[in-house]
Amino acid sequence: MLEFHLRLFCEMLKRVLAGEEGEAIPTVWRQFFSVMELPFHLKVCCIYLLVFPPGIEISTMQLYQLWVAEGFIPYNGEETAEHYLKELIHRGFIQFRKRSSRSDRLREFL
């Protein structure tokens, strides 16, 4: 588990050092500890977002399908996925942008 946490922190730090994030290292520490405080079911969904480049937009439905495909959410668990997503948005890990009733988009992960 320690190795997993170290890899997560290193990934977040790499983004800062590569200039992808306009944030200081103390911010990375805050983000890291914020992720570590999440319940496990939210932590895995949140960490999965690191596969996307910063600033990318993705549809909520596509993200739900990816979470299901990875096994983070049971098959046909759209309601569960929506609940997880709302919790991550509420905690400030994701920015949400409503485009229309059929194509909500997410951006700015972590």
pLDDT tens track for 50-73: 778 777 788 888 889 899 998 889
Residue written as tokens 């997880």?
84
Domain count, the chain: 2
**31 lies in the same domain as 47:** no
Kindly state whether residues 32 and 62 are assigned to the same domain: no
Q: What is the span of the domain harbouring residue 58?
A: 39-110
**Which of 54-68, 72-86, 90-104 shows the lowest mean pLDDT across its residues?**
90-104
Residues 20 and 43 in one domain: no
CA-to-CA distance for 31 and 92, rounded, in angstroms?
10
Q: Are residues 91 and 62 in the same domain?
A: yes
Compute the distance between CA of residue 32 and CA of residue 39 in angstroms, rounded to an integer: 14
Q: Based on the domain organization, do 78 and 28 belong to the same domain?
A: no
Residue 5 in tokens: 């946490």
Encode pLDDT of 11-50 as tens digits: 766 766 665 555 565 666 677 778 878 898 898 888 888 7
